[in-house]
Amino acid sequence: MSKSKHVASERAAWIKRRAKELGFTSVGISAARALDEEAPRLETWLKEGMHGDMTYMEDNFDKRLDPRKLLPGTKSVVSLLFNYHNPQGQADPEAPKIAQYAYGEDYHFVLKWKLKELLKWMRAEWGNVEGRVYVDSAPILERAWAERSGLGWIGKHSLLLNKHAGSYFFLAEMMLDLDLEPDAPVTDHCGTCTRCIDACPTDAIIQPYVVDGSKCISYFTIELRGAIPEPVKGKMENWMFGCDICQEVCPWNRHASPTTEPRFSPHPRLLDMTKADWDDLTEDVFRDVFKNSAVKRTGWLGLQRNMSFLSED
């Protein structure tokens, strides 16, 4: 092995070891290059309007496909997974439901702090390392990079699946000017299973591996700023923020283990709130329960809109 390859291998191993000390479940590395095979898929998805009102998805097309255009000098893309699984769930089966990822503190802030710590450690170890950290904060095809780096495969529901961890995890990235030993992709293990497709109440998974985002319950309850379309009435299955249906039915999530990150634990009041509590939710209670939560994205008024739509089902 040449000296440069030895250094690339040693540094990759060091990053993976230190990232796991910060709580990341898995780490994979890819050489930075253009994702040419993703270009036609992304272009078709946008042209057919599957992004709905998420017009930001139309921006920075070239940067989404090539990290070197997003951050010049990038040589390696480090993809990281962080477990958020909270299997206990909400106590009242009649209460409007919230996707698990939003039970605890907003992951954007929690994970970005951890990534900045990791970058700080790299600079202390190797000197001037140029790089940036990202948690849903830039035009990056996160799942494509995670798949390329061997962290799993993109399932028929378009989420990343890992044989050992399922899909209840956040994705994050680091763009670095370091040459690092890349990891190899893994094979697809969805087989003939169509449980996610069969279970989607709004038929958002229009074919295996293709999700029409404009038909997804998560889109209606989080991204959409206007009124929820009338044809969706009766199909929301009581989800008021996000949706976990395709994850709940996925056989690979039988391997999912609970998160060990305290900041992703639910607010003490959240899981015990009854349907009556939600119906009487005041803005003050909303601010208390969701003070540091991703649910703040939709706001109190947005949550009221969602719950009102559910009550009309």
pLDDT, tens only, 234-273: 999 999 999 999 999 999 999 899 999 999 999 889 999 9
Determine how β-strand 97-98 pairs with β-strand 239-241.
parallel
Q: In sequence order, what E strands does the chain have?
A: 26-31, 76-83, 97-98, 131-134, 153-154, 160-161, 169-176, 205-207, 210-211, 239-241
Question: Tell me, what's the pLDDT at 1?
Answer: 66
> Could you confirm whether 136 is annotated as catalytic?
yes
Please name the amino acid found at residue 139. P
Q: What is the pTM of this model?
A: 0.95
At 59 the three-state DSSP class reads coil
pLDDT, tens only, 114-128: 999 999 999 999 999
301 phi, psi to nearest 5 deg: -65, -40
Percent of the chain scoring above 90 in pLDDT:
95
- Determine which one of 92, 136, 179, 277 is catalytic: 136
pLDDT, tens only, 98-117: 999 999 999 999 999 999 99
Determine how β-strand 131-134 pairs with β-strand 169-176.
antiparallel
Structure tokens at 289: 């329960």
Structure tokens at 140: 């990056």
